[in-house]
Structure 1
Amino acid sequence: MELILQNDLEHQQRPVINVASVIETSNVSEATAPHRNPEIYRWSLNSKTIYDIWVKEDIPHKYRRFVNNPNNVRVKRSEDMPSYQMMDIKMETGTGKTYVYTKTMFELHKRCGFNKFIIAVPTLPIKAGTSSFLEDSTVMRHFTDTCKYNARIELCVLKAQKTKNKGKLKFPTAVGRFFYGSKHEKNKIYVLLLNSQLLTNGKLLTREDYDQMVGEFHRPTDAIKDTRPVLIIDEPHRMERESKSFVSLIKSFEPQLVLRYGATFPEHTFGKGKNKSSEKDHINLVYDLNACEAFRQTLIKGVSKEHLELPGGKSAEKKIKITKINNTEKSVNMQYTTNDGNSHYVLHAGDSLSQIDPDLSGISISGISAKNIELSNGQIKETGMEFFPDQYSTSYQEGMLSLALKRHFETERELFERTPTRIKALALFFIDNIESYRGTENKNDGWLHNKFIELLKERLLFELSRKNDTEYQSYLQATLDNINDACAGYFSKDNQDSDENIAKEVSVILHGKKELISFKDKNGNWNIQRFLFSKWTLKEGWDNPNVFTICKLRSSGSEISKLQEVGRGLRLPVDEAGNRIVDKTFMLNYIVDFTEKDFATKLVEEINSDIMKKEIPPMELSISEIEKVAIMRGMTIKSLFMELIDKDYIGIDHKIILSNFDAFIVEYPEFNNINEKDGVDSSRIRNRNSERKGTIGIRKARFEEIRELWKKLNKKYVLYFEKGIEEELKKRLPEIIKEKNIFSHLSVSSDRRVVGIENDKAVSTEATGTQLLLNNRHMAYNEFLKRVSYFTCVPITILHEAICKAANNGTDISNEMFNENSSARLINAIDDWKAKNLAGMVKYKQANYHPKETRLTNADGSVKDEVAQAFIGRKRENKNVLLSPKYLYDTLAYDSDLERKNIMESDIDEIIVYGKIPSSSICIPTVASSNYSPDFMYVVKKKDGTKELNIVIETKGYDNESKIAEDEEIKISCAELFFNDISTEGYSVYFRKQINSKGIKDIIEELIKK
């Protein structure tokens, strides 16, 4: 296959013309030596040239809402940094910036004679991609034959030194070739390609002990510097102007011209407090193709984001991941992820997983080995695995892989059957644990790789069972016959691996773009490789236009540009003949986990916040704009309006007086940023690094005051139901099974949203998700009964009888339906029935069991020194916090603002001691087959001053009681019954619920009066 490039694409022609026009209109003098570039004597951007280009070329709508004088940009530059000139070219990911800067080199050579260019990239994958492009014979023929440039590129790739010659290093060949390239060779352009680490790590270019000289220079940097090069920087957000990489590039090479090409640019912040503002670090921005324009003009694919929901029909809001297994210490590190962030736990053999999540009550770690852990329910979990707390036998990654394969084959079938030419679809998977794919010995036998092969085989068999044309049937069958060859992985450590098969995978991914998007190899055999796995290294720089599905099995490490992150799949595809296909119907399937379920919203916010700064400068100010700025300045609309008129900034008709425009923006910068308020809401960018680490000290003197209450609360109690309930359940359970559609095949569902452009703005619209059947995941019938019985306390005999009655009455029940979905639905249905019918029909009695050790006391009854912060609260404050001497702990930790308020405002005379109740330490059984633990405990003085009034409080961050959810009300009602029952035993404990509108002082005063 030969890639067919186009020469007449407006969005790629414009930036080339803009840069070349600025340089050509400058005073460019002849090169002073054969190995040097011509010199730019007068810099045109110091005149009105750039403004003339904006106006004459009719592209002002692609710049800021108000266009500042390009020389009025605030610049941070070191005093000792050499002088250089810079232009920025912003092109959205996937729109062809590599092609553009390559064509710009040809154009500058043609117009002005420049033939020495340095391309600096931040990473090796970007370097590999750039090298492949510049060395491609088809690409070079495009520039010579189609574009009619009478020149070719001599690529000099700078690499780390590996060989020595008689004790001295061999002078870098690439530098010599670059330096000696002469201006007299009219048809050659010399390009030095390097990754920035070659400058910042080691002394490859700065040392002097090489075996030879180049010209009169011992050091490579001096030789390169003397060519008066033009420096091209790819991905400028990875090389900020204050960074070591950028400073090294400038100081080492002293380029006379710097061209920065990227989709994302660094952001600089200025001022402090109310005067704090930020802006993109654009220096002489001569072209800006924003994201909205790229989407609107169908220059890139659309995006269809989808995240996985929980099996059993629940919302996916939490998951647990095995991050590390320590066989020596018999411990396992686990990461607990919810919508609020991450928490970290270290558990040992025998520990219960209920410490992490109450849904895992009854599940403990029964064994730990070097590679995996075994749970008490028989499940095996390996490092890197993720699972749902209440669906622990279903791997979260398994569901995501199944969803990705479904979307891939939907797309693949459509593109394969496309006429007149087919398009090969690729899928890219990002993972965060290399061993899960490669295995411990790099044999591609990790659990994730094996699971993917298993799911791929299932999917291929399903696709083969459908009606296919002969060609596609053959393609699928070839994949099934050589299924391992359909996958390839690239990870950073692969660069040091000597395995031949791994080296082949890496070569294909980094350099074999044509091979990947070809259906057949040179011998006419099917090229089935189309599922690619990587970690972080393919995030930027690597590109393949035929990626139609991206599945992120790991969450982002930071809140980077959403467009940059999704960019590996935005490029428009190439068909099997090598033609770039423009079609507005192309969509990228972008599959994430629930922690990034708002990806589509954030992507829309990013696009729209970008275009807000780049709309056509208005000819007049609206009343709403004047009002917004007036409020910012503490003025009335009328006074601000008259002030602007008096200063000749606007007319009585609200129109801006353009001759005073620059002064207007300097004095009233709020008008320039007014629409930025509608961009990304920073409060929605959450820090996902939880502070739930370490321990909290227990104040032992304070504990003695609350010991009696703590001892009473930690006794175990049994829940008793009134007579007749069992018979009622027997009667209703078969009906519940039928009414609730309990039994079904195991499946997971997805939530899907599509990002598109309407009225020149990005919008996110809801799309149809999917439900995936997970085959061969059923339980043995006895295991199914045991699990439901364990979680509902309904005897196995009653469950079995009800299922048989439901089956005899026409309910479709098969062996495949005894699975995670069905068990979860049956458990939920029974709990719902209990909650609605048994509230108020229970009693509590103390059991014979007495726990030896509690969260706060040791087995001998002595108080512990500390308690794990995870049991007290997710949030922690260590500085400038003065806690009441009556508080049980020495550190402020809490889960909600109301809890914090209680802790800080409970220094009341009547209170003797108070504290947070460690989570899951007090287990009050409820009618819904769950346990309940309140939030606070208090010991308070009675009216006569004696210590006897004990209070347990449940805090709810609602403004009124009607907002409390039904399941929470059921737990609270059970708690009220519980404390009422134990109070009849001679020990009074008062239980109260608290909402936002009621303070602790009010609750205590009411009780004391009684």
Structure 2
Amino acid sequence: MKLKFDSTLDYQQEAIAAVRDVFQGQTPKQALFTVAAIANEQMALGFGDESRQMTLGQGIGNRLMLDEEDLLNNIRAVQLRHGLPQSNSLPNHKLNLDIEMETGTGKTYVYLRTLLELNKAYGFTKFIIVVPSVAIKEGVQKTIEITRDHFRGLYSNVNYDAFVYDGKHIEKIRDFATSNDIQIMVMTINSFQNDLNLINRYNDKKFGESKPIDLVRETKPIVVIDEPQSTISTDAQVEAVESLNPLCTIRYSATPIRVENKLYRLNAVDSFAKKLVKGIEVESFAAQDDHNEAYLLLKSVNNKKSPITARVEMDVQNKRGVVQRKAVTVKQGDDLYEKSGGRDVYEGYIVKDIYCAEGSEYMDFTSCSDILHLGKAIGTVHDDEMKRQQMRATIEEHLNKELELNPKGIKVLSLFFIDRVANYREYDAEGNAVKGKYAKWFEEIYQDMIRRPKYHDLWHRLHNEDDEAELVHDGYFSADKGKKNEPGHWKDTSGSTAADDSTYNLIMKDKERLLSFDCKIRFIFSHSALREGWDNPNVFQICTLNETKSTIKKRQEIGRGLRLCVNQTGERQYDANLNILTVMANESYDEFASSLQKEYEEDGIRFRVLETANFANILVPVPAEDVATGTAGEETAYLGTEKAEMVMESLKEYGYVDDEGNIQESLKADIQQNKFVVAEELAPYKAQIQEICMQACRTVPIHKKRERREAVLNKEVFLSPEFKELWDSIKWKTTYRVDFSTEELLRRCRKQMALEMKIPSPKIIQTKADLTIGTGGVETKVVADRAVSTYGSSNFLPDIVAYLQNETNLTRRTIVELLTGTRQDEKGTWIPFDDYGNRLKDFQKNPQVFMENTAKILRSVMKSLIVDGIKYQRLGDSEYYCQELFESEELKGYLESNMLESTKSPYNYVVYDSENERQFAQSFEDNEDVYLYAKLPDWFKISTPLGSYNPDWAVMIDQNGEKKLYFVLETKGNIDTDALRKTESEKIQCGREHFAALGDKAEFMPVDNFTEFMHSI
């Protein structure tokens, strides 16, 4: 079983293009440097005489031909496109780029493909991926392995060597430097940040008079930093990366730090809203009114000043006699009886000692034998019962998911994080491994649950023997090295020790095997080893079995199961109803949600905040005076920073945000009540501004499992003649063909080229640098870098016709006509056909920039012409979407979160995706002229040249019982063509043509206001 990858995901392509476009204008070219070949060492035995013969070879490196101004302009264009703050300079004249992508969205896939794309576009060949830990390294290595065939399919003529750096095979450094093929080297930061690392030491035998890192530096590699918040969290680590002499660094993280030039952002809120990761629900287990014994939890110790103190969580009685659990500060000699407000259960708990040695922190008492260790609790007499309930709920949820998902070819996995390895696997007096209490509980509960009648078919399909409960669970723990004739023992670790290496290696190799039905393991137990670096797409339940609330960060916890699930053929499943991650938390729902929200904020994600950059990329019509005659209103541009600042001032003026951009409650209230206002000069963009504000009001959606409901068929509506009539009017499938005129293509392209293409000449860059010679060798520091002159035509002219053919699939003849502005008459003479002239002088002036811009214009115009010339035709009477498909639809949602009770649709609930959809659904329910309606399922798709298109609603209007009207609605926040992204607008146009081909029974209408829709009919 192999995981499959989708190369067409929009958000991944956007992230890849964001980096690629920073180098627009770069001409692909190989740069050479001299590399000392291996020294042939000869020694005259017995005399101590040695002679060396050095040979010179050629190595291949990256070379950047753009100056700082070009790069900064490209960066700002990308940032504007994605609504991000604009960079004003390149700090320290270094090119550092940041990509923010949430865990589970394919970050590693994106940066690996980005490297191949940079090679394809510009010829760069030397790449280094720097990771913070063994866990991340193993994950990257696994992704390289499983994507190799996929990338070979995308980049068929490209050879690349991707390997993990290992000091034992340091000769690979020479291969990295000298190979003509793409080289991708994966390194941990610890492998080269220290002067004692082998890569930083002279190696006469293999590298002559050079250090291995010298060869790396000469290649000017493009360096990818994976998880920079861990990889370059210290100045020493930053300096280590700089010692690689990178052409640029590209930093990928869900929680970026040291941000300099952010090019793309896909944060947690965006990922959940776009359903790119699993939805999260919480089943909480918390003791209530359990204050009958002395409860204590040591949260922290502090010896930074005298006296030494500790923070202890305990049950405190207030002046009204109410007992509450809270943290208090104590020192040596404090009486916890007094601290508790005089509760008898704390009698005798007088602090004797607070011990602060790292790793052994504890507190003890004078009058009792209890020792309180850091992070541990005493007095939780019902703790085992709590854990058993968590385990029972996890197993039950798991089995229910198996009933639902196994028939779809999806294997279900559950993950348990445990506090101590010994609770799952311990050792007897003879040193033999035996089951701990968690393993025993699991098998006992599992045997009881699986034999219930509900799971009868599941039991017979999966089990043959009574003892197979042993085979469905396993643990992944780290072990010590052991001794001679004695194997190592499993032990508790932090997740970052050398002992964890084999654990990461094991579970990484098992990653795909765990997804197969052939592997019986479905429940995984782990200590700290899986905190980072490992996830599995089919983890649907996560349960933390701890003495107290989980000490693992919530983001780390849920990150192990956020990735969308796959079936037995390795295909990703995008149905949101299937992709639900259930967290079994030993705390209340409110506590879990609050802690997770706080962690996101600590990691730098700002919720409910607006900034100028959010509005700068609003699309607006180009003013008539800025375009050629006859095209006013046809072209669009970005709103820009100046007007975006006006938007922010307007929001502050009306009290929607404060001076820091924090959203106020009045903003959401006015949007919901249709009272949202903007300054008069911003009125043309009001709808776009409102849509952005609505999106900014979102937070990470954490649902209560107990509020989950499944929408069931409302048979009164579904079986009614009226619904059948409505469905019969829209259910038909179509095919399309495209006609467009080559003459029109040439006219539009050449006109756009004349208006937009300003080709700069290549520049001569003058660089001034300080040079110092020290113990580390010769080092340079750039102090000035500027363009001093330009120069004329290039001596190297690539095959532009072949390039444009490859980019557009147009014929050579059409491309020649485009470039020359001439075509052959009946006599074979080439004559001009417009006034824009021959563009080949611009091509000779700067070939790469000219080719890139021409290809971009061609693709844009071709896409518009394809949509303009599209014709749909119904596929007879045999191709259609059956009404019965509604019966197999599985719709799930959460009360008060994304479900609205319905009496007019085919289900008893409407599951909506946005506030805009909720408002429309409520309006359909309330309006007496709406007879019935349906939110069109995800499987109701219309084929278009731009990908599948799924309209929003089908509606039947009954006016006074006299006439029935059928409508298919696309409900955007704003349907103005200028406000929609180009692809959205073009898909809507395809939808209009599709339904027109079905006849006049149903009308397709884009609408953004329910009242205006009703008035229009």
TM-score by length of 2: 0.50
